[in-house]
A = this chain, B = another copy of it.
Amino acid sequence: MTPDDLFAAHGDLLDEDRLDEWTDLFTDDCLYLVIPRENVDRGLPLAAIRCESRGYLKDRVVAVRETSMYAPRSQRHVIGAARAQADGTVTASYAVFQTLADEPTKVFSAGRYVARIVDGRFAELRCIYDSTLVDNSIVKPL
């Protein structure tokens, strides 16, 4: 898989609720973070989601499935072209749209993925969303 293929698989498997397959995109000792840009810029560690291994990701998947407090919704990722950076990471811009029942589609999040890719899987995936807030409404991975 190219980096573009990997990012496309990431978005598609999340949006189609194929969450077990989604965890297969990561290495066993992966790091997955969903963190506001503000905290990255300031060096603050607080993240909306932090999973420090593929086992944590699987726990997260169970938690999402068992979260009954939140209304049915569709999420949809649109991800730009992957770009290799000088420090060895691969980045891509993203937007995620959310649609609740009987409501129009809205922008849910926009930001940038910063990934380290090893053998076609994510060894690290940071979803850095453009916000100053650690958003409690982020339930599903982004």
> Smallest distance from the beta carbon of A106 to chain B beta carbons, Å?
6
Report copies per complex.
3
Give the interface segment out of A47-55, A61-69, A107-115: A107-115
B residues less than 8 Å from A5 (CB atoms): 81, 83
Is A140's beta carbon under 8 Å from chain B? Answer: no
Contact at A132–B101, with CB atoms within 8 Å? yes
B residues less than 8 Å from A99 (CB atoms): 110, 130-131
Q: With CB as the reference atom, state the residue of chain B lying closest to A9.
A: B83
Is A26's beta carbon under 8 Å from chain B? Answer: no
Contact at B133–A102, with CB atoms within 8 Å? yes
Number of residues in A with C-beta < 8 Å to the partner?
42
B residues less than 8 Å from A97 (CB atoms): 95, 107, 110, 130
- The 0/1 profile, CB within 8 Å of B marked 1, for residues 60-94 of chain A is 00000000000000101111111100000001111
Within the assembled complex, what's the spacing in Å between the Cα atoms of A5 and B78? 16
Contact at B130–A83, with CB atoms within 8 Å? no
Contact at A91–B12, with CB atoms within 8 Å? yes
Question: Which of B16, B37, B78 is close to A78, meaning CB atoms less than 8 Å apart?
Answer: B78
B residues less than 8 Å from A9 (CB atoms): 83
